[in-house]
Amino acid sequence: MADCIFCKIANKELPSTTVYENDRIMVFRDIHPAAPTHLLIIPKRHIPTLSHCQADDAALLGEMMALIPELAKKEGIQVEGDGNGASKGGFRVVVNAGPDGRQDVYHLHIHLMGGPRPWKNQN
Ligand code: AMP
């Protein structure tokens, strides 16, 4: 899409702080981080919103989600422990969709936010 900033980032027409890339997916740092670590996981192919995904996007969506544990570990925001009461660390995963979902950039992206509290938005 000609006017899409995330397409331009995926095509290297705009700069980004890329932390991961393959043929289908790119991950870069959010320019206005809401948490100590704030990454955006995007498909390189233009999909405007999560609402525009279809059954045959399941593999792509699954690949994007399945990257998160590895990204979290690299960023040092993984959940430590067995996931029970004694755990430490962790992160939030958010997908905004459409105006009521407060989506600003209409190219599908997953927010991965983590790091020690407090965070900027306190979400
Ligand atoms: P959303 O409100 O879910 O559409 O989130 C869009 C996110 O994209 C916001 O957190 C912005 O800070 C971020 N953003 C916008 N432009 C850029 C950019 N050029 N590079 C990195 N992040 C960006």
87: confidence class by pLDDT, cuts 50, 70, 90: confident
User: What are the residue boundaries of the structural domains of the chain, listed by start?
Assistant: 5-114
Residue 78 in contact with ligand 1 by CB distance below 6 A: no
Element (H, E) at 40: strand 37-43
* pLDDT for 122: 55
pLDDT at 111: 98
The Cα 23–Cα 73 span in angstroms is 22
CA distance 38 to 36: 6
Beta bridge partners of 91: 114
The 3-state DSSP class for residue 50 equals helix
Ligand 1 centroid vs 78 CA: distance in angstroms?
A: 23
- Does the pLDDT of residue 106 top 90, yes or no? yes
Which fold, 5-114?
Answer: HIT family, subunit A (3.30.428)
Assigned token pair, 81 = 């422990």
| C-beta 63 within 6 A of ligand 1 | no
Q: Per residue in 14-38, pLDDT tens? A: 999 999 999 999 999 999 999 999 9
Both structure tokens of 100 = 């009521």
Q: Active-site residue among 38, 107, 109, 111?
A: 109
Distance 39 CA to ligand 1 centre (A): 10
Residue 123: pLDDT over 80: no
- Residue 109 falls in the annotated catalytic set: yes
Cα–Cα distances (Å) from 79 to 41, 75, 96, 103, 104, in that order, read 19, 11, 23, 27, 29
Which residue, by CA, sits nearest to atom 12 of ligand 1?
32
pLDDT tier, 49 (very low <50, low <70, confident <90, very high otherwise): very high
> Ligand 1 within 6 A of 16 CB?
yes
